[in-house]
Amino acid sequence: MEPYEVTVMIAPEAEEPRQDEIIDRIRQIVEAGGGELEAVDALGRRKLAYEIDKHGEAYYHVVTFRASAETLDEVTRVLRITDDVLRHMAVRRSGRSHGPAAEEAPVS
């Protein structure tokens, strides 16, 4: 299992229960795939550099977990079709718990 980090941008009109629902869905997919959720960081509402779907702000959540590549594919597939998710980005974390962010490789 590889360590991954997924940053999720959720529409500003999504209430907290809806945000929790989206994050819980990620947790379910990871656990169903035999993975392990490590942390969920809610970074709060932030202003966007440019509008996305006529939204100037979004709620940011960073989810870190260990899972197989197939599980990551399923997480990204579900996020792509989930209402209220404006954008998401998945990266594979380096094996070390510290180090420069430049060592992280985007996953496509």
Domain span holding position 29: 2-96
Whether 101 maps to a domain, the answer reads: no
In a domain, 36, yes or no: yes
| Count of residues in the chain | 108
Split into its structural domains, the chain has a count of 1
Q: What is the CATH number of the domain that holds 6?
A: 3.30.70.60
The structure tokens 């959540």 sit at 61
pTM of the model: 0.83
Query: Is pLDDT of 81 > 50?
Result: yes
| In-domain check, residue 107 | no
- pLDDT of 19 over the 80 cut: yes
